[in-house]
Chain A
Amino acid sequence: MGPGRAGRAVAWAYIAALLLFLYVPLAPPLLFSLGGGGEAGTRAGAVTLRWYRQLWDNPLLVGGVQNSLLVGALVGLITPPLALLAAMAVRELRRPRLIVATVLLPLFIPGVSMGLASAFFFRQLGVTPSLLTITTVHVVWALPFAFLIILAVMATFDPMYLEAAYLHGAGRLRAFVDVELPLIRHGILGAAIFSVILSFNETVRTALVQGPNNTVQTYIWSTFLQVGLSPTLYALMSLLIAVTLGLVAVLLLVGARGAVSARGG
């Protein structure tokens, strides 16, 4: 049974076509950011890096970059421990179904609604919009993804190791730190990188709780709404695509390392 060679070829061609459909949009920003001017990105011989240089002359944007880095770092530090605790709660508390559903809930709330509810909430509490409000919303958004990554890695860990540690007199904390943590470390690191990627690439939720603070993404969005797209903006987008793909590469390296150490251990 099963499709013949022709059937498989058709299936792979179909997958390749859909991948092309998803990857093609990554190219135009680079094309336009290197162009001599306007939208003439296709004109030959006009390759220039001046739009990239101009980026750094814009204090508003440089501030946005700093904010994005700071928020990204905070999200990368806060989200994985929370996700780890949630994953452990699934294993150790009663009603794991309810816990999974609660932690995954942010995945299912549209961005506008999540941003709006948070913005109103902060305003009613008298909390001024700041990098911390942005960070809070980003952590809520990144938590389900980090949770799923850590859950997947923890599923490869055999709880018998913990039993063994208990039998040797280790307490819960000691057993976790000495036995389980080293084996799931790469999952936690992966969750951190994934959270940073999500934070770097968030616009809709951020735009509603940003107050006067821009991130790189809200800078792009508000500039688009006010004056439209420009070669400088395309240069910025190209940089962001490059940074994101770079982080994905790091994520894959961490994942590959983890797989090797899990097999070796």
Chain B
Amino acid sequence: MGALQGRVACVARYALLVLPLTFVAGALLVPLGLMFVWSFWERAGFWIRPAFTLASYAEFFAGVRLSVLERSLVVAAGVTLLGLLLAYPIAYFLALRVRRDLARNVLLLFTIPFLVNYIIRTFSWVYLLSRTGPVNRALMAAGVTQRAVDWLLFSDFAVFVGLISSYMPFMIYPLWAALDGLDRRLVEASWLLGASPRVTFLRVTLPLSMPGVFAAVIFGFVGTFGESAVPIILGGVGYQLMGNTITSALDVLNYPLAAAMSSVVVATMLAFLLVWYLAFDLRAVLGKIARWRF
């Protein structure tokens, strides 16, 4: 009796533990895989039908949409780089120069606006950057410019502002976690061996924080590369990034094309993730969250 009961309990326990994994697989991995399959199907009335055609990819890579892909890559890379430059000093200061409880409170302050829907926050930038908005009034009051500056809104600048304010906070955490977990004795050793602060940073601190840097790059890139709302709100008419080009393909019922573009976006992200998974230790980014052996 005991053995059978034990086996049932064991199976039940295993089933429970793999439930979340089954859920993610069924609700995300399978749909993503099928989306890739459906990108080779063809349009049929209001939906799609089985086929094997590269037409959607041809339409994507041949048309003006290729320039959208290029622009998305450039914008995503630019926002990610700027976000990194903005976030790294904060993470560095909080991790290495501030008491940990104070650092946690400051990190919390960075989290709170992130929890408010970024679309609502992006609407605010339309007003803040407009011709009669506070930014322009401040510039004119300070005598920086005589007339209102036009390129603040509905421009690359506006899109960058919107994307950075939406995704930069996300980049601080992995950087902080990596720097916080750094072995201080290595920095001290470098100092004792006579290295200047600059050399210590470049040859010890920065290389050791690379897992965090790479994680931050992924967070910045994933947000901006597939972003669909910010370019619509802040880019102005005709400003196309991958995200809103995908939704406009949906609007004209070109489902295979939408699936093809979306697959390219997901494949790019998975490539990043694979490099991260193979090259770095997850623990370096999760910091002290998980003490268990990985």
CB of B28 within 8 A of CB of A203, answer: no
Q: For the complex, is B11 an interface residue (Cβ under 8 Å from A)?
A: no
Known: A112-B247, A116-B262, A117-B34. 10 other contacts (CB 8 A): A25-B124, A85-B19, A96-B292, A97-B277, A100-B290, A108-B272, A112-B246, A113-B265, A121-B30, A155-B288
With A113-B226, A116-B259, A220-B119 known to touch, is A85 a contact of B17 (CB < 8 Å)? yes
* A28 and B262 contacting across the interface, CB-CB below 8 Å: no
Q: Which of B45-100 contact A (CB under 8 A)?
A: 47, 86, 89-90, 93, 97
23 pairs from A and B in contact (CB 8 Å cutoff):
A22-B114, A26-B113, A32-B127, A85-B16, A85-B19, A93-B17, A100-B290, A101-B282, A102-B21, A105-B273, A108-B222, A109-B28, A110-B227, A110-B243, A111-B243, A116-B250, A137-B27, A140-B28, A201-B117, A203-B119, A225-B232, A244-B115, A248-B115
Shortest distance from the beta carbon of A196 to any chain B beta carbon, whole Å = 11
Contact with A along B224-235 (1 / 0, CB 8 A): 011111001100
The minimal Cβ–Cβ distance linking B151 to chain A, given in whole angstroms, is: 19
Q: Is the CB of A118 within 8 A of B286?
A: no
Q: CA–CA, A109 to B225, complex, Å? A: 10
- In the complex, which residues of chain B have a beta carbon less than 8 angstroms from the beta carbon of A224? 123, 233
Inter-chain contact A123/B47, CB cutoff 8 Å:
yes
Tell me if B291 is interfacial: C-beta within 8 Å of chain A.
yes
Interface centre among A22, A93, A148, A240 (most CB of B within 10 A): A22
A1-35 CB contact bits vs B (8 Å, 1 = yes)?
11100001001001100110111111111001000
Q: Is the CB of B128 within 8 A of A8?
A: no
Q: How far is the CB of A24 from chain B (nearest CB, A)?
A: 7
Q: Tell me, rounded to whole Å, the shortest Cβ–Cβ distance linking A206 to chain B.
A: 11
A77 at the interface (CB under 8 A from B): no
- A237 interface contact, C-beta 8 A: yes
B246-282 toward A: CB 8 Å interface, digit per residue (1/0)? 1100100001001100100110010011000100001
Number of B positions contacting A (CB below 8 A): 87
Measured CB to CB, the closest approach of chain A to B145, in angstroms, equals 20
- Given the interface pairs A11-B89, A109-B222, A121-B30, the reply to whether A85 lies near B109 with Cβ below 8 Å is no
Task: Please indicate the chain A residues that have their CB under 8 angstroms from the CB of B218 in the complex.
Answer: 108
Residues in B whose Cβ lies below 8 Å from that of A39: 127
- Residues from chain A with a CB closer than 8 A to the CB of B43 are none
Interface on chain B toward A: helix, strand, loop, or mixed SS?
A: helix
Interface residues of A (CB under 8 A from B): 1-3, 8, 11, 14-15, 18-19, 21-29, 32, 39, 82-83, 85-86, 88-93, 96-97, 99-103, 105-114, 116-118, 120-121, 123-124, 136-137, 139-140, 143, 147-148, 151-152, 155, 172, 197-198, 200-204, 208, 217, 220-221, 224-225, 229, 237, 240-241, 244-245, 248, 252
State how many angstroms separate the Cβ of B242 from the closest Cβ of chain A. 8
Chain B hits for A100, CB < 8 A: 282, 286, 290, 294
Smallest CB separation, A207 vs chain B (Å): 8
Whether the pair A110, B115 counts as a contact (CB closer than 8 A) is: no
B169: Cβ under 8 A from any A Cβ = yes
**Is residue B25 within 8 Å, beta carbon to beta carbon, of the partner chain?**
yes
- Cβ–Cβ < 8 Å partners of B89 in chain A: 11, 14
Q: In the complex, A83 Cα to B246 Cα: how many Å?
A: 31
B38 within 8 A of partner (CB): yes
Beyond A88-B17, A100-B286, A101-B277, is A120–B259 a contact (Cβ under 8 Å)?
Answer: yes
CA–CA, A217 to B123, complex, Å? Answer: 13
Report the bound CA distance from A21 to B167 in whole Å. 13
Whether the Cβ atoms of A148 and B24 lie closer than 8 Å is no
Report whether A110 and B86 are in contact in the complex, using a CB–CB cutoff of 8 Å: no
Taken residue by residue from 153 to 192, chain B's Cβ proximity to chain A (1 for < 8 Å, 0 otherwise) reads as: 0000000000001001100000000000000000000010
Of all chain A residues, the one with the shortest Cβ separation from B161 is: A21
* Candidates B18, B242, B269; contact of A108 at CB < 8 Å: B269
CB of A237 within 8 A of CB of B123, answer yes
Alpha-carbon distance between A2 and B98 when the two chains are bound, in angstroms: 11
- Residue from B18, B24, B292 within 8 A of A143 (CB atoms): B24
A147 to B286, CA, bound (A): 12
**B32 beta carbon closer than 8 Å to chain A:** yes
Are B28 and A120 neighbours in the complex by a CB distance under 8 Å? no
Residue of B nearest to A203 (CB): B119
Whether B20 contacts A85 by the Cβ 8 Å rule is yes
Q: Give the interface centre of B35, B115, B247 by most chain A CB atoms within 10 Å.
A: B115
Q: Which of A18, A32, A92, A102 has the most CB of B within 10 A?
A: A18
CB of B259 within 8 A of CB of A19, answer no
Q: A117-B31, A201-B115, A244-B116 given as contacts; is B226 within 8 A of A22 (CB)? A: no
Q: Residues of B contacting A24 with CB < 8 Å?
A: 124, 128
